[in-house]
Structures are given as structure tokens and as C-alpha cells.
Amino acid sequence: MVSKKTEKQEYRLPGNLKMARPEWIAVDAYFGGLLAPPDAHLDAALKANRAAGLPAIDVSPLQGKFLQVLVRMLRPKRVLEIGTLGGYSTIWMARALPRGGRIVSLEFLQKHADVARKNLENAGLLKRVDLRVGRALDSLPKLAASGAGPFDLIFIDADKPNNPQYLKWALKLARVGTVIVVDNVVRDGKVADAKSADPDVRGTRRMTSLMAREPQLCATVVQNVGVKGYDGFAIAVVE
Ligand code: SAH
Ligand code: DHB
Ligand code: MG
């Protein structure tokens, strides 16, 4: 674990994330201080996640705000999140939902889901979130069969080797206009290595090929740097 101290918060990066450069952290602290300032429920959720020993791979504050801006732009009635962890990204999105809007969030680990449920409850948001525990690839067909879609915004942020399957399910659960965001597509630039044997890289590269080949998708990638190091989002809209 690498530990980085900023003005407001300590960020522990998992060993597989390289260190964030000091200026990336300073710029995140600057913009984050103005646009994603300290907030009792969000800060409490991060604290609870670390206290419970969850990995520090929540989206950063400014990335959470990015998701929230998307929710404000799209006014989604239904959001699907794949990969809940402690519900930090869920809180950012759930807060901005329009009246009647709901998030279905899928999480494999019971322990993570339990922490997320408490965080959402403390934030007064549990009634807007439907947490489903189990492998996403088991939950997704059930969701589809129950007629839960179509979703207006889909955030894919779970195990990266399954990203191709998650994209396929996202398309099945989408409508024209649905926005799909995939986290962690750059991973320190490792994604550019066509020969990589890393299952995360291979999953992300196969997912990106699918995006590129899918005539129904208009997609791009935004590389980003910040407290979580060097990474990026893929963002696509269904046409
Ligand atoms: N979106 C969260 C971070 C998610 S971290 C945030 O930004 O706050 C990735 C999560 O995906 C972890 O909690 C992990 O347990 C979960 N996960 C891993 N494999 C999964 C699977 N097969 N199905 C569902 N969730 C999975
Ligand atoms: C990892 C997963 C994430 O979703 C993330 O944002 C950063 C790191 C990981 O599995 O290492
Ligand atoms: Mg992520």
C-alpha cells in the first residue's frame, strides 16, 4: 500500500496502482476543494470503508462528481451500477437522481454490500438503491428476466476481466440514448500493451474492441490523472 497525504484526505493506493504524482494530487485537491468539497455523508462512507478494510479503490471525489454531473445531465429514472464496493460512487449518483429515480447496484461480496447498505442508510439514500449481492454475471440475466430495464445510465466498475460480458449485458439492458461508463480502462497505460497477459488489460481491450465494432455505440475514452494515479473512463452512448 502506498500512502499519500493531501490537504484533506489520505489516499491509500493498492499496490497495483502506481503512485500519483504530487502535482496530480495537488490539482485534485484544488479542484476537489472547490467542486467536490468535504461532505459529511461521503466522508463518513470513505471512513467506514477503510475501517471495514475494503480496498481503497472507490472513485475519487472529482470522479464521483463527474458521475453526478452525468446524472444531472441525463435525469435517469434507472441507473445500473456493476461493482458497489462501499457505495461511495452510488451515493454520488443517488443524490442527484430525479424524483422516482432508482439505482440497481450489483456487488459480489456480502461484506462490501453490508458496508454499502449502512453507508447508504446513513446518507438517507437506501430507498433509492436496490443492492443485489452475487456475481454480476448471475444477477444480470435475472435483472433482464425480471424486466428491470431499460437503464438510462450504466456504470461498469467491477472485475475487469468480465468487462466484455458486462458491455454485452449493458447493451441488452439499454435503450437508444443510454450512456455507458466503464471505469479503469487505462491502468497506468498498461492498456496500450497489445501483448499484455494481464487479465484486466485483456478484458478491457476486448471490451474496447466490442465498443468499436458495435454500430449501435458512439464511444470514446477520457484518460485521467489524480489521487488514484493514471487511469481513465470509457464513455459511450447507444444510438
Ligand atoms: N464503484 C465503487 C468501486 C467498485 S470496486 C466506487 O467507486 O465506490 C469493484 C467492486 O466490484 C468490488 O467491491 C468487488 O467486490 C466487486 N466485484 C468484483 N467481482 C465482481 C463480480 N463478479 N460481480 C459483482 N461485483 C464484483
Ligand atoms: C481496482 C479496481 C477499481 O475499480 C479501481 O477504480 C481501481 C483499482 C483494482 O481492482 O485494482
Ligand atoms: Mg473503479
Q: Which CATH architecture has domain 61-238?
A: 3-Layer(aba) Sandwich (3.40)
**pLDDT at position 211:** 98
DSSP, res 191: G
d(CA 165, CA 147): 19
Q: Does the beta carbon of 107 sit less than 6 angstroms from any atom of ligand 2?
A: no
Q: Is 57 in the pocket of ligand 2 (CB under 6 A)?
A: yes
Q: Whose CA is nearest to atom 19 of ligand 1?
A: 159
Query: End-to-end alpha-carbon separation of the chain, Å?
Result: 42
Strand partners, 90: none
Q: How far is CA 152 from the centre of its chain?
A: 15
3-state DSSP assignment of residue 119 = helix
CA atoms of 150 and 85, how far apart (whole Å): 23
Owner of C-alpha cell 461484506: 111
Distance 112 CA to ligand 3 centre (A): 14
Q: For the residues of 127-170, what is the DSSP string, one character each?
A: GGEEEEES-HHHHHHHHHHTT---EEEEEE-S-GGGHHHHHHHH
Q: Is 218 helix (H, G, I), strand (E, B) or coil?
A: strand
Q: Is the CB of 141 under 6 A from ligand 2?
A: no
| Three-point CA angle 65, 213, 82, nearest 5° | 35
Pairing of the two strands 2-5 and 151-156: unpaired
Strand partners, 65: none
Helix (H/G/I), strand (E/B), else coil: 232: strand
Could you read off the pLDDT tens digit of each residue along the chain, which spans 239 residues?
444 444 333 444 565 556 899 999 999 999 999 999 999 999 999 999 999 999 999 999 999 999 999 999 999 999 999 999 999 999 999 999 999 999 999 999 999 999 999 999 999 999 999 999 999 999 999 999 999 999 999 999 999 999 999 999 999 999 999 999 999 999 999 999 999 999 999 999 999 999 999 999 999 999 999 999 999 999 999 99
Q: What ligand is nearest to the CA atom of residue 89?
A: 1
The pTM of the full predicted model, rounded to 2 decimals, is 0.94
Instruction: Among 1, 49, 57, say which to mutate for ligand 2: greatest number of ligand atoms within 8 Å of CB.
Output: 57
Q: Ligand 2: distance of its center to the CA of 57 in Å?
A: 5
Q: How far apart are CA 17 and CA 169, in angstroms?
A: 28
